């Protein structure tokens, strides 16, 4: 509970048995969190079992993809505030508190991994990936310079917090199933004139495994292109009401 508002942590997971128990245990020590929801996104290992044993509530989402898992988790969560993080151990529970504090002044608080002093040695934020995120974030910022005047430096950071009211407003605009869901959330919030604040967060090396979207140059390029197309679509094709879901081609990861 944070200032009389309940707080849910949502963790999308696909085959994260190496890390999930450690992540759940670390965040359980964060006193402001009321529940931890782990989304089993078709895991073929013991992720769901280990998450439940560590104290999380496990929900299942059969539609594959990061965006699908997050949408299912936020829908299933009970909190007045939703905090989103990764199952790989790259983010720290201690940063939850500062996100919650900034929610007093915003509907969504974004983390950024591009503050160099906050990126730990060995983290998956090499120069090309870091500056690619900065470029894409500045492009998004430019498109919404009027009237929102946002300030962004990272479109791919998956550590963020938002109020239930913000989620209810942007949910009809969320259609992406893969990693483009991250900038889509930002665009949707701007479309609904929600205030967004970006703050630096600690970014650590993954505890186990490799990123499924940025471990190789080709995957980074594919993800970047999907994000670019999503940002352009949200700005130029959805000026008013969101495009109905059945008019959109399904996105593959």
Block means of pLDDT (10 residues each) for the chain, 253 residues, are: 97 96 97 98 97 98 96 98 96 97 96 78 63 90 89 94 98 94 96 95 76 65 92 88 52 48
Q: Is position 128 within any domain? A: yes
Burial 197-209 (b: 16+ CB within 10 A, else e): bbbbbbbbebeee
Burial (CB count <10 Å: 0-12, 13-18, 19+), residue 193: exposed
What local confidence, expressed as pLDDT, does residue 117 receive?
73
Enumerate the β-bridge partners of residue 10.
Answer: 37, 84
- Where do we find the tokens 């492009």? 139
Distances (CA, A) of 10 to 58, 105, 169, 235: 10, 22, 18, 27
Q: Is position 66 within any domain? A: yes
- Crossing angle of helices 47-54 and 20-28, in 10° steps, is 20
Q: Is position 53 within any domain? A: yes
Q: What is the DSSP string of 110-143?
A: EEES--GGGBPTT-S--HHHHHHHHHHHHHHHHH
- Domain CATH for 214: 3.90.550.10
d(CA 144, CA 43) in angstroms, rounded, equals 38
Distances (CA, A) of 220 to 70, 141, 211, 237: 20, 21, 10, 25
Residues of the chain above pLDDT 70, percent: 87
Q: Is position 250 within any domain? A: no
- Where do we find the tokens 């950071």? 157
H helices, E strands: number in the chain: 8, 7
Q: Is position 111 within any domain? A: yes
CB 85 within 8 A of CB 159: yes
Enumerate the β-bridge partners of residue 203.
Answer: 119
What local confidence, expressed as pLDDT, does residue 220 receive?
81
Residue 184 is encoded by which pair of tokens? 């889509």
Q: Is position 16 within any domain? A: yes
The predicted model scores a pTM of 0.89
List of residues 6+ apart from 66 with CB closer than 8 A? 12, 41, 158, 177, 178, 179, 181, 213, 253
Enumerate the β-bridge partners of residue 9.
Answer: 36, 83
What local confidence, expressed as pLDDT, does residue 68 receive?
96
How many domains are there within the chain?
1
Query: 75: domain range?
Result: 7-244
What local confidence, expressed as pLDDT, does residue 252 receive?
46
What local confidence, expressed as pLDDT, does residue 114 receive?
84
What local confidence, expressed as pLDDT, does residue 253 receive?
47
């Amino acid at each position: 509970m944070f200032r009389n508002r309940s707080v849910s942590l949502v963790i999308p997971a696909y085959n994260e048995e190496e890390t999930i128990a450690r992540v759940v245990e670390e965040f359980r020590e964060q006193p402001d969190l009321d529940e931890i929801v782990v989304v089993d996104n078709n895991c073929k290992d013991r992720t769901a079992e280990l998450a439940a044993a560590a104290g999380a509530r496990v929900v299942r989402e059969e539609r594959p993809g990061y965006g699908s898992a997050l949408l299912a988790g936020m829908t299933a969560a009970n909190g007045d505030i939703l905090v989103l993080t990764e199952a790989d151990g790259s983010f720290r529970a201690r940063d939850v508190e500062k996100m919650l504090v900034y929610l007093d002044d915003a509907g969504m608080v974004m983390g950024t991994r591009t503050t160099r002093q906050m990126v730990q040695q060995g983290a998956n934020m090499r120069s090309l990936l870091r500056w690619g995120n900065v470029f894409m974030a500045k492009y998004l910022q430019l498109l919404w310079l009027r009237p929102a005047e946002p300030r962004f430096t990272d479109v791919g950071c998956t550590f963020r917090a938002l109020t239930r009211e913000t989620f209810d407003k942007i949910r009809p605009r969320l259609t992406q199933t893969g990693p483009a869901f991250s900038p889509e959330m930002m665009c949707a919030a701007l479309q609904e004139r929600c205030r967004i604040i970006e703050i630096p967060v600690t970014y650590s090396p993954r505890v186990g495994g490799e990123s499924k979207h940025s471990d190789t140059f080709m995957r980074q390029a594919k993800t970047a292109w999907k994000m670019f197309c999503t940002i352009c679509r949200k700005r130029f094709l959805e000026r008013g009401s969101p495009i109905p879901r059945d008019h959109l081609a399904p996105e593959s990861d």
